[in-house]
Amino acid sequence: MTIKMTTILAQGAEAILYHTGEGVVKVRHVKNYRHPEIDEQLRKFRTRREAKVIGKLNVLGFPCPHLQKMDDEKMELTMDFINGQKVRDILSPTLGREIGKKVGVLHTHGIIHGDLTTSNMIHNGEVHFIDFGLSFFSDKAEDKAVDLHLLRCALESKHCDIYEECFTAVLDGYKETYPDYPVVLARMDEVEGRGRNKHK
Ligand SMILES: Nc1ncnc2c1ncn2[C@@H]1O[C@H](COP(=O)(O)OP(=O)(O)OP(=O)(O)O)[C@@H](O)[C@H]1O
Ligand SMILES: [Mg+2]
């Protein structure tokens, strides 16, 4: 007899993740501080969106969890467990370059991750991206620039000692896989300039 254990893997800002015999179940629970109708809509929207993006990435063979099922009544996604190390614990310029290349692949397919942090990446032979609840489809340079800008902010705050080498490596990798990079990087400078001007 095999006993299938269920443990809580993580309790994120938005969802609880269970590790079950089947894999990882991500459940978006009711948030009482939101209006009930808005809460239901938002949880449904994000659950469906995350499933749609992961489904597309599975077809492309992009390194992310394999989606097993989506239930937009229970607000649950079931996906494969990726057994690896959090990139947050092992970031290096080499991994930075790999991350940049993979962001370039996402952007080439018109996918914006929306929450690029090293907590949303797991290393298992290669870097896998997770957490597509804020992802969306867009071909706008602005959206791609903001995606990269948020990654820069995440590196700056969580990896301040190696942030500069790592973000330079991210951009080197990005240039290798995203041919239209000059437009996006110019837009990123603009986005970051806007941020700086706000404090003047
Ligand atoms: N498929 C998976 N395989 C292994 N671990 C996973 C998987 N999916 C999620 N996790 C773990 O659960 C954590 C939270 O998952 P996720 O980022 O999808 O949820 P979240 O609610 O958005 O969390 P947060 O608000 O912390 O970003 C991840 O940081 C990761 O450690
Ligand atoms: Mg997350």
Q: Indicate if ligand 1 lies below 6 Å from the C-beta of 120.
A: yes
Active-site residue (options: 71, 72, 80, 115): 115
Burial of 13 (0-12, 13-18, 19+ CB in 10 A): exposed
Q: How far apart are CA 186 and CA 189, in angstroms?
A: 5
Answer yes or no: is pLDDT of 168 > 70.
yes
- Confirm or reject: Cβ of 63 under 6 Å from ligand 1: no
Q: Which of 5-14, 83-92, 99-108 has the lowest mean pLDDT?
A: 5-14
Give the structural domain span for 164: 85-198
Report residue 173's pLDDT band, with 50, 70 and 90 as the boundaries: very high
pLDDT for the residue 200: 52
Give residue 2's pLDDT band: very low, low, confident or very high (50, 70, 90): low
Q: Give the model's pLDDT for residue 13.
A: 81
Q: In what order do the strands lie in the sheet with 16-19?
A: 7-11, 16-19, 24-27, 76-79, 67-71
DSSP per position, 1-23: ------EEEEE-SS-EEEE-SSS
115 belongs to the catalytic site = yes
Mean pLDDT for the stretch of residues 108-115: 98
Whether 82 lines ligand 1, by a CB cut-off of 6 Å, is yes
Question: What 3-state class would DSSP assign to 168?
Answer: helix
Domain boundary residue, one of 43, 59, 79? 79
- Using one digit for the tens of pLDDT, what is the confidence trace for 32-66? 999 999 999 999 999 999 999 999 999 999 999 99
CA 184 from chain centre, in angstroms, equals 19
CATH number of 138's domain: 1.10.510.10
Looking at the structure, tell me whether residues 125 and 190 fall in a common domain.
Answer: yes
Q: Are both 22 and 60 inside the same structural domain? A: yes
Q: Is 9 in the pocket of ligand 1 (CB under 6 A)?
A: yes
Q: Please report whether residue 2 resides in a domain.
A: no
Read off the pLDDT of each residue in 194-198 and give the average, rounded to a whole number. Answer: 72
Q: Tell whether 61 and 124 lie within a shared domain.
A: no
CA distance 21 to 177: 37
Is the pLDDT assigned to residue 75 strictly greater than 80? yes
Mutational pocket test of ligand 1: of 68, 130, 151, 158, the residue with most ligand atoms within 8 Å of the beta carbon: 130
Own/partner long-range contacts of 159-166 (Cβ < 8 Å, ≥24 apart): 159/91, 159/118, 162/91, 162/92, 162/93, 165/93, 165/96, 166/91, 166/92, 166/93, 166/95, 166/96
Domain stops at, among 47, 79, 111: 79
Residue 110 domain flag: yes
Question: Do 141 and 193 reside in the same domain of the chain?
Answer: yes
